[in-house]
Copies of this chain bind each other. A is one copy, B any other.
Amino acid sequence: MPKLLIVSREAEAYRQLIEQANLPSLEMATDPAECDIVLGEPRSIRALLPRLSRLKWIQSIYAGVEYLVEPGHRRDYILTNARGVFGDLMSEYVFGYLLAHEKKIFERFRSQQARYWDRAESGLLRGKTLGLLGVGSIGSHVARTAKHFNMKVWGFTCASEDSQDVDVYFHPPELLKFAGGLDYLVCVLPRTEGTNRIVNADLLDALPPHAVLINVGRGNAVDDSALMQALTQGKLAAAVLDVTDPEPLPAEHPFWTTPNLFLTFHTSAKSYAEDITKIFIENYYLYLAGKPLKYQVDFERGY
């Protein structure tokens, strides 16, 4: 009889949704020592790892599982993350900020406050080139939205190349060539050893000065000092960061006041319990049947 532990700020919502699904044989439990399945937030689950003596499977409600895969923690179980549910949310966020930039939404508001009939021309997404740093399930969705807006899409990737909406793929030796042709750079990379400070001074120098950077992946990908320098020196038009390192950002961090830097607060894509529960249910049936689960994380690769 599989026993499930839910470790989440939204545990009650998950419990109700899972109970409504009447999953065969599943029992809810609260003692970590007797549970073989855990559903929840990676950081909170990590604290329980030593006590999960019967652990077989963890279903993360987030895409990012860095708290569970970093070295030093046990790997004697199957870890699955949440995929396929954040793409449309991330697209809404990314295109919200890209369109705000092109339509000069802040500038128009300042004109309004000055009672100035501001006939300045707006920019267009149409015809511009969006570059994806990371082309997994989220990147592919962002690519699809870019195509809806008649944009060109370039993808920089180490692995997957299966998005129909990416016009040109680039690979690790071509990072600066990739950056040189972009109007927008959207980073959707997970936190791994390999992604540390990939957005560094060289990459920022390679971007055209009218380019905009959006980071919805993880904060480790950005070299903070290099970014502040690029923005201050006008080497980059703007940056939008939903993720920082650390989070929350300390009150004294210079990002709060860096010119043309727009902060959001890891709020670009929420894990909706309805979405995640569907993944859990599908995986639970696979688990019961002894079949491979969906969205398994490779501990070595880190995602």
Among A81-126, those with CB < 8 Å from B are: 88-89, 91-93, 95-97, 99-100, 102-103, 105-106, 108-109, 111-113, 115, 117-122, 124-126
Quick check: A109 and B106 within 8 Å, CB to CB?
yes
Residue in contact with A88 in the complex, picked from B111, B149, B249, CB distance below 8 Å? B149
Query: How many residues of chain A get a CB closer than 8 Å to chain B's CBs?
Result: 46
Q: Spot the interface stretch: A154-162, A205-213, A260-268.
A: A260-268
**A117 and B125 alpha carbons, distance in the complex (Å):** 30
CB A69 to nearest CB in B, in angstroms, measures 25
Quick check: A126 and B92 within 8 Å, CB to CB?
yes
Copies in the complex: 2
Quick check: B249 and A117 within 8 Å, CB to CB?
yes
Quick check: B100 and A100 within 8 Å, CB to CB?
yes
6 inter-chain pairs at a CB distance below 8 angstroms, sorted by A residue, are A92-B125, A96-B100, A99-B100, A108-B263, A112-B256, A117-B249
For the complex of A and B, the 5 pairs showing the least CB-CB separation, nearest first, are: A96-B99, A117-B248, A96-B103, A112-B263, A148-B148
